[in-house]
Amino acid sequence: MVAEGVAVTGWDETERLAALAATGILDTPTEPAFDDIVRIASLVCHAPIAVVNFVADTRQWFKAEVGLGARETPLNVSICAKALLTDGLTVVHDLTRDTRFDANPLVTGDPNLRFYAGARVDSPEGLPLGTVCVLDYAPRPEGLSSEQRQTLEALARQVKAQLAIRTQARALSDSEARFRAIADSMPQMVWSTQPDGFHDYYNARWYEFTGAPAGSTDGEGWNGMFHPEDQDRAWAKWRHCLATGEPYEIEYRLRHHSGEYRWTLGRALPIRDAEGRIQRWFGTCTDIDAAKRTAQERELISHELSHRIKNIFSVISGLISLSGRREPAHRQFADALRERVAALGRAHDFVRPHSERSRAEHVDTTAFTLLDELFAPYAQGHPGRFVMTGDDLAVDDRAATPLALVFHELATNAAKYGALSTEHGRVEITGRKTDQTYVLTWTERGGPPVPPDPGPPGFGTTLSQISVEGQLGGRLQRRWAPEGLEVVVEAPIDAFTRATPRIGS
Beta bridge partners of 445: 426
Dihedral Cα 406, 412, 417, 421, nearest 10 deg: 130
CB 365 within 8 A of CB 348: no
Q: Are strands 426-433 and 386-390 parallel, antiparallel or unpaired?
A: parallel
Provide the Cα torsion 409, 411, 414, 416; round to 10°: -70
Cβ–Cβ < 8 Å for 401, 417: no
Task: Quote the CA–CA distance of 461 and 454 in Å, as a whole number.
Answer: 12
Whether the CB-CB separation of 193 and 270 falls below 8 Å is answered with no
CB 346 within 8 A of CB 374: yes
CB 126 within 8 Å of CB 37? no
Phi, psi of 335 (to 5 degrees): -65, -40
Write b or e for each residue in 195-225: b if 16 or more Cβ atoms lie within 10 A of its Cβ, otherwise e: eebebebbbebbbebbebeeeebeeeebbeb
449: DSSP letter = P
* CA–CA distance, 149 with 298 (Å, rounded to integer): 82
Neighbouring CB atoms inside 10 A of 141's CB total: 9
Q: Is the peptide bond before 111 cis (omega within 30 degrees of 0)?
A: yes
Give residue 345's pLDDT: 65
Where helices occur in 327-396 by DSSP H, the ranges are: 331-351, 356-359, 367-379
Contact (CB, 8 A) for 153 and 131: no
pLDDT in tens, the chain (505 residues): 455 554 455 678 899 999 999 999 999 999 999 999 999 999 999 999 999 999 999 999 999 999 998 999 999 899 888 888 888 899 999 999 999 999 999 999 999 999 999 999 998 888 999 999 999 999 999 999 999 999 999 999 999 999 988 888 888 877 787 878 887 778 889 999 999 999 999 998 999 999 988 888 888 778 788 999 999 999 999 999 999 999 999 999 999 999 999 999 999 999 999 999 999 999 999 999 988 888 777 777 766 666 666 677 677 777 777 777 777 777 777 776 776 666 666 655 654 554 444 443 444 688 998 888 888 777 766 778 899 999 999 988 778 878 888 888 898 888 888 888 888 899 999 999 999 999 999 999 998 988 776 677 777 788 888 889 988 999 999 998 888 899 999 999 999 887 544 444 3
Distance CA(62)–CA(76), nearest Å, equals 15
Rounded to whole angstroms, how far apart are CA atoms 364 and 358?
13
Alpha helix (H) residue ranges in 328-485: 331-351, 356-359, 367-379, 397-416, 459-466
Q: Provide the CA 170 distance to its chain's centre, in angstroms.
A: 27
Which residues are 60's β-sheet partners?
A: 55, 73
Reduce the secondary structure of 4-46 to three states and give it as a string. EEEECCCCCHHHHHHHHHHHCCCCCCCCHHHHHHHHHHHHHHC
pTM attached to this predicted model:
0.47
